[in-house]
Amino acid sequence: MIYFDYRFMEVARPIIEHEQYQQMKYIKHHDESVFDHSVKVAFQAYQMAYKRNLDWESTIRGALLHDFFLYKFKKCLSPRLITDSIKHAISHPIIAFDNAIKYFDLNDKEENIIKGHMFPFGVPKSKEAWIVSFVDKYIAVFEYASNFKKMTQRRKQAAYNYNVD
């Protein structure tokens, strides 16, 4: 369980309570929802930026909106998996930015945090953008590992059930 502090919530609340942003709760991403992933990235990035006396407010806002793409990226094992994944890595920050500017006023740093978070497909231009890019990848590794672990446990259970019957 992550406990948020008042600074984080003061900046995050207008975004996370927004009707369109709430839709991300229903889109699976790695091992959770896009909403949960984005909030987790935002809080961890905020903590790093705040400790380094950086622009933590833009860090929170940009990180919350970095995956504001509002669709489920379908992954399936096929010869196109790699090319589809690369296309998604390139296009989803642009889609997230387009969605973000429909509903929120963004500064240049927040724009770059969103557009640059998929390094090397985008280029972070500030320390804050580099932090969000790094934290996003770091958290994604753990989310993918958790998802893989759950899938493995389900397969073992299914095999056990098959052998018992």
Predicted pLDDT of residue 59: 98
Report in angstroms the alpha-carbon separations of 68 from 23, 34, 90, 133, 162. 10, 8, 14, 15, 41
Can you give the pLDDT of all 165 residues of the chain as single tens digits?
Answer: 466 799 999 999 999 999 999 999 998 766 689 999 999 999 999 999 999 999 999 999 999 999 998 765 555 555 655 665 677 567 788 999 999 999 999 999 999 999 998 888 889 999 999 999 999 999 988 876 766 555 565 555 655 565 655
Architecture of domain 6-164: Orthogonal Bundle (1.10)
* Closest by CA position to 92, among listed 34, 13, 139, 32: 34
- What is the residue type of 83? T
In which residue are the tokens 């998929």 written?
A: 118
Find out whether 52 and 127 touch, Cβ atoms under 8 Å: yes
